[in-house]
A and B are shown apart, each in its own frame.
Chain A
C-alpha cells in the first residue's frame, strides 16, 4: 500500500487509516460529523495526495485533449481549469478529471487515485497517433492538500502575497508561494464550499500542512470528504459514474460539449442518447427510517425493483438520510415516492431536488 507524505502525521494524530485507491488514507480523526461541520462553518484541510497527475504537452496537446474528453479544454484560458468526464466509445465513463491549462500546449490532468493506472494506459494508447506529444505520469512527484470552508480565504491570505480573492473559481496560480512553500494554487474543491487546492512537492508537504493546521484548519478525512461531496451532489467515480453509467445519466450534461467541437471518444453514443432521450438518470433521495447505502435496491410504490442506490449516507447538515440513485426516467421527477430496501424493510424514499446542500 502506498503512503502519502502525510501518512505518518495522520497516524500520530489518531486517524483511522484505510486503504483507498491503493493508498493508506485517513478516514477520520475521531468524528466524521465534527470534521464535516468544520468544513461547513470554518476551515477543513484534507490530504488528497492520492489523486493522480499527468502532464500532457507538446504540439497538438489541446486538440488531443478535445478528442479525449467530453468538455472543451482548448477553450480554456491560460491559468484556468475545467472539470470533465472522459468516455469510452460506447459513452461509458473511463473517469472524471480536472484539466489545468499551464500554457498554450501544456496541460495538467488530475485523475482519481483508483483509476491512475487505467487512465494512464488509456491516455497513452490514445496518444499513439500524436507522435509530438509528451506525456508524463507525475503522480508520485506531486502531493495535494485541499483547504475548504467559508474561512479559508482569511486563513490563507496572511500566508501568501497572491491576492486570493482575485483568483476566480476554477482559476489557478501555477507558481504561488504559501507559507514559504511553492505551490500550484487552485480555486477548486470537492465539498460545496469555497476553498483552494494546493499542489505541492512531496518534500515540502508536511511543513505546509503543519503550518495550516497551526493556523486553525481542522484535519478532515475521506469519511467527511464523502458526506460533503454527497450533500453537494458531486459525483464519485465508481458510484455515480462507471463504465456502464454515461455522464448524461449522471446529470453531467453541462460538461459534455457537442458544439464547437469535432469528434471525441464517445461522441456518437452520447449524441444518440441525447437524441433519443435518457431512459434512466441519477436522482437525489431523502429517506426516512434508515440509511440507504450504495448498491441497496430501489423499488417503486408497488414493490418492483426499478433501480439502485449509487451513494448514500446520513447528512450531517440536513440531519437526515440522503442518497443518490439511478432510476428510470419516468420515476425521476421531484416528489416521486419510491422505496429503498434496507435489510428486510421497504423504507419510503422521496425524489428531491439536488444539490441537497448549497452554500449561501
Chain B
C-alpha cells in the first residue's frame, strides 16, 4: 500500500499535507469499501486535534473522521457530494476531504514509516 512520505498520519487513518489538506489513507479506504456518502463540515468551523468533524459512509459501514490537528476549516471538497467514490479512487489527490489552517498541535502525528508500522503490526 502507498503512504506518501510527504504526508503525516494519525492513528485513526487520516493524513495531513503541509498545506493543511486532510484525507483518509489508502488503508482506510480499502477497509471501508465503496464510499457512497461523505458528510462534510462547514467552512469556518474550528477544530481541535482528535475532534470528529465528519463522516465517511460506505455501503456497509459508517466511520467518523477526526481532525489531525488544531485548525479552522478553510475549504471542503464539495466534489465528494456527487462523487464520493473519489475517496476510493484517489485518496491522496482528488479524494481529499478538507483543508485546515493554521495547523498546530501536531504532536501526535506519525511519519509514513511509523504509520506503516502501526498498520502492519495490527
Contacts and interface: CB of A to CB of B under 8 A. Distances in A.
B37 A32 contact: no
B27 to A, nearest CB: 13
Interface of A: 16, 27-28, 31-33, 223, 226-227, 290-291, 293, 313-314, 316, 321, 343
Given A31-B33, A32-B33, A33-B34, A343 B59 contact: no
Contacts of B39: 290, 343
Given A290-B39, A293-B62, A343-B39, A32 B55 contact: no
B112 interface: no
A174 B57 CA distance: 43
Specify the main secondary structure of chain A where it touches its partner.
Answer: mixed
Interface string B24-40: 00000000011011010
B37 A291 contact: yes
Specify the main secondary structure of chain B where it touches its partner.
Answer: strand
Contact of A223 (B33, B55, B62): B33
10 contacts: A16-B33, A27-B60, A28-B60, A33-B59, A226-B60, A290-B39, A290-B57, A313-B59, A313-B60, A316-B59
Interface in B56-73: 57-60, 62
B117 to A, nearest CB: 23
B34 A32 contact: yes
B33 A314 contact: no
Nearest to A313: B59
Nearest to A33: B34
A320 to B, nearest CB: 10
B18 to A, nearest CB: 31
A295 B58 CA distance: 17
A223 B33 CA distance: 10
Nearest to B58: A32
A16 B58 CA distance: 14
A27 B55 CA distance: 22
A290 B37 contact: yes
A347 to B, nearest CB: 10
B36 A291 contact: yes
A32 B59 contact: yes
Contacts of A31: 33-34
Given A291-B62, A313-B59, 12 more contacts: A16-B33, A27-B60, A32-B34, A32-B58, A32-B60, A33-B34, A290-B57, A291-B36, A291-B37, A314-B36, A314-B57, A321-B37
B59 A223 contact: yes
B33 A291 contact: no
A106 to B, nearest CB: 39
A313 B33 CA distance: 14
A253 to B, nearest CB: 30
